Amino acid sequence: MDEKERILELRASLEAHNRAYYVDNRPQISDKEFDDLMHELERLEALHPEMDDPDSPTRRVGSDLNGAFRTVAHVRPMISLSNTYNEGEVREFYRRVEDGLQGQKFQICCELKYDGLSIALHYEKGRLVRALTRGDGTQGDDVTLNVRTIRSIPLKVSEERSFEIRGEVLLPWSNFERLNSEREARGEELFANPRNAASGTLKSKDPKVCAERGLDAYLYYLLGDDIPGDSHYDNMMAAKAWGFKVSADMKLCDTLEEVMDYIHHWDEARRALPVATDGVVLKVNSLAQQKSLGMTAKSPRWAIAYKFQAEQASTILREVTYQVGRTGVVTPVANMDPVLLAGTVVKRATLHNEAFMRQLDLHEGDPVLIEKGGEIIPKVVSVDLDALQGERGPVIRFIECCPECGTPLRKDEDEEGGEKGASWRCPNEDGCRPQILGRIEHFVSRRAMAIDSIGPETIASLYERGLIRDAADLYILTMADLCPPETDLFGMPIAETTSSKTTHKLEQNILDGIAASRQVPFERVLFAIGIRYVGEIAAKALARYFKSIEALRNATLEELLEVNGIGIIIAESIIRFFREEKNVTFVERLEKAGLQMTLSEEQLTLHSNRLEGQSIVISGVFQHHSRDEYKSLIEQHGGKNVGSISSKTTMVLAGENMGPAKREKAEKLGVKLVSEEEFLNMIK
């Protein structure tokens, strides 16, 4: 895989992990692993400026917008901090501040980094009027009703000021353990950690849920034109006096040595805190000096977050089991004696792949060290050599046949050059149960066909009853199929379940959801089909370029490579997909079922060449459309979105609160600033 294709792969991977973390509340990798991928992407993009893409994860913070709440533009963008896990980089940050302030004296305010959900609280004349999540940094979800149930957040303060105060909504360890105990008793899925529980709770549509679960909030930054003074620390102490919950563990440091002492102290002391923390935040104390130091494209130069190393624990490895994903990749999982780690009991941990297992040299009964990267995903780090006693058990070797269907495994191959990869794959994609179910689950998922009424349990039940073998079978289901005599959807006698009326309502919702999915636009249908390597971004680009499934099916390799963002691996995967008759038949059945296999007439008529040859930067907050909608409009009319202003930029779509640095650069280079109304008039 060359560097350009690696850029595309990293972008798709990071977007997926962003979604898993911020929206689904099911993070798949640790913070450090995410940051490592982000740093790799930043490095490669710097080497390949021709791959510039304003939608790259390096250009934006993660988004927790989920569509269930009204979105509101932030008065001031909520930009993420740069992360480091290295004390040397903390020292580098301190030196950069020294250089940037050119000999001025400064103080660093050290604060604990709480592991929850970022919130922006807006007060007018001392009264809480709005609470927004971070969202995508420029706009957030309005969760005011839910926030009003958090008792540590005052609804009114004694000072009749108008201001914004930011902080973290979280769930204390005691409430987290109580909540999971209650969910376990009800047979519900447990929350992985307090951060996930807090996020899920704050995004609940029922404020009563927030009130019952006992959310808490720590505040850490005061903003506005009517704040007490220039000292960040003094401002927070004033906020504390007004009634806000501000950490008593904030500390002003005059030297780098004091900063490092603070970090070392809390790396140990944090384990006794009532809430989850994952690091320390360092901020230049003077607001005037913060302004002088300024910002990068993604984060402030006056602050940095130091993340603590993951906590480790030792336990005994009992056996390795194997999971099969929807693409057939087999992943080994360590099953261990239960052990308490970072506040939760851990019994299973990922072993990634065969090469990772060999590197660890695992034997049955070995003591192993496990850690939670970012205190989220458990993984085996090494054999605990200090705890080894006596003779070791048999070596654990990777299986040779699929644990689900018994088919001999094949080494996963990189399609470019046929080089052997790191993973083993089950090739029996048409007869291996987890692969079949996984493809259907992907098809109905929210970002694909969005058939929310069908979950994994329903899919498994329909499969076991022989009603579905692929996603196309969903479109021939009837009420008679879903409601056999005297039983419900899951084969349980109706007398032993809820009322017949309630049961049939569930099945009618399924049929209604399937029917509604026929209106899902072509680009999402293309993503749902599940062509390997074709993610959301690639599906959108392919749909807009070829405009129909028929044109895509007949495309040559050269034509596919002409599509922006489509490299050799994706192109060859598409050709292989349509070369197989079973896939062609599957797509034809979906088309016959009434799914959208072409761009709609509305989409086609909306396309024009009015912006052809234009390289456009978007900056600021807008009234009529979101930034993402404007990006789509630019593409629809033949323009190109770019993330930064240069001599090649032809115009800036300038909204309210456009950054002064961008405005200054545009004026210096003579780049035209176009207002929202002027732009809409241009594309008519």
CB 172 within 8 A of CB 216: yes
Cα-Cα-Cα-Cα dihedral sign, residues 616, 619, 622, 625: positive
Q: What is the 3-state secondary structure (H, E, C) of 502-519?
A: HHHHHHHHHHHHHHHHHH
SS3 category, 590: helix
Is 113 part of the annotated catalytic residue set? yes
SS3 of 56-108: CHHHCCCCCCCCCCCEEECCCCCCCCCEECCHHHHHHHHHHHHHHCCCCCCCE
What does the alpha-carbon distance between residue 560 and residue 599 come to, in Å, rounded to a whole number? Answer: 18
Look at the chain and count its residues: 684
Out of 32, 113, 283, 420, which one is annotated catalytic? Answer: 113
Q: Which residues of 462-471 are buried (b: 16+ CB within 10 A; e: fewer)?
A: bbeeeebebb
**322 in Cβ contact with 401 (< 8 Å):** no
What angle, 0 to 180 degrees and rounded to 10, lies between the N-to-C axes of helices 31-47 and 3-22? 150
Query: What CA–CA distance (Å, rounded) separates 173 from 185?
Result: 18
Is residue 493 within 8 Å of 486, Cβ to Cβ? yes
C-beta separation of 626 from 648 below 8 A: no
Distance in Å from the first CA to the final CA of the chain: 42
**Residue 325: what residue type?**
G
Handedness of CA 618, 624, 629, 632 (dihedral sign): negative
Residue 658's SS3 state is coil
Q: Which of 33, 243, 44, 210 is nearest to 128 (CA)?
A: 243
Do the Cβ atoms of 382 and 360 come closer than 8 Å?
A: yes
Task: State how beta strands 329-341 and 367-373 pair.
Answer: unpaired
How many helices and strands in the chain, by DSSP H and E? 25, 22
Which of the 8 DSSP states describes residue 310? Answer: P
Tokens of 658: 């456009």
Phi-psi region at 535: left, alpha or beta (left = phi > 0; alpha = psi -120 to 50): beta
DSSP codes of every residue in 250-263:
-EEESSHHHHHHHH
Cβ atoms of 545 and 638 within 8 Å: the answer is: no
Distance, in Å, from the CA atom of 514 to the CA atom of 475, rounded to the nearest integer, reads 7
Partner residues linked to 231 by β-bridges: 286
Strand-pair partners of 425: 329, 410
DSSP-derived 3-state class of residue 493: strand
Q: Which amino acid is at 30?
A: S
- β-sheet bridge partners, residue 619: 654
What beta strand segments (E) does 67-215 contain?
71-73, 83-84, 108-114, 117-124, 127-133, 139-141, 163-170
In angstroms, the CA 505 to CA 501 distance is: 6
Active site (catalytic) residues: 113
